Amino acid sequence: MRTILTAIFFICISSSIASAQVKKKAAQKEDENQIFAKVENEAHPDMAAWTRYLNQQAKLPDSVSKNIPPGCYTVVVTFIVDIYGGITEVKAEKDPGYGLGSMAVKAIRNYKGKWNPASQCGNLVKAYRKQPITYTIEAE
């Protein structure tokens, strides 16, 4: 009788542990699909490489810049950093025109480096990011 009770006890414990593991995996899968605006640890790139890349991309060819009036034009680009450090869903949120928004989107979309993904409660999560890119057009 005691052996049967012990076996039943271990079966109950084992099933509750398995159930908890299944629930944890389901919660992780749910977090994987969520996109966070605020997280414990922000997604971030290698800042030196990212800054160097954006500075290169902010230089416009003469054929483009000669058709734009002198001034500073800021494009704000939003995108999502996924759990693998990739950049997705790139959009120009603020576009001053002259094709600068599409150029900024293309620059960020073509970035070959990886970001360190954001984390929430110890899990890697998708997170929104905003990146301003300023183009300066000087008078000739």
- pLDDT greater at residue 33 or residue 132: 132
Indicate the class that CATH gives domain 35-137: alpha beta
Of 140, 139, 130, 137, nearest to 58 (Cα)?
137
**Token pair of 77 as six digits:** 């680009």
**Could you give the CA distance from residue 71 to residue 69 in angstroms, rounded to a whole number?**
6
Q: Which of 13-22, 26-35, 85-94 has the lowest mean pLDDT?
A: 13-22
Alpha helices (runs of H) in 1-140, residue ranges in sequence order: 2-33, 47-57, 62-65, 100-109
At residue 37, the pLDDT reads 59
**Token pair of 51 as six digits:** 């800054």
- pLDDT greater at residue 38 or residue 105: 105
- 3-class DSSP state of 132: strand
Q: pLDDT tens for residues 62-115?
A: 777 777 888 888 889 999 988 898 898 999 988 888 888 888 898 899 888 888
pTM for the model = 0.67
Q: Is the pLDDT of residue 9 over 70?
A: no
Task: Write down how long the chain is.
Answer: 140
Q: Identify whether the C-beta of residue 74 lies closer than 8 Å to the C-beta of residue 100.
A: no
Rg of the Cα atoms in the chain: 24
Sequence ranges of the domains in the chain = 1-33, 35-137
- pLDDT greater at residue 11 or residue 140: 140
- 3-class DSSP state of 38: coil
**Could you give the CA distance from residue 89 to residue 28 in angstroms, rounded to a whole number?**
22
Percent of the chain with pLDDT over 70: 71
| Helical (H) or strand (E) element with 24 | helix 2-33
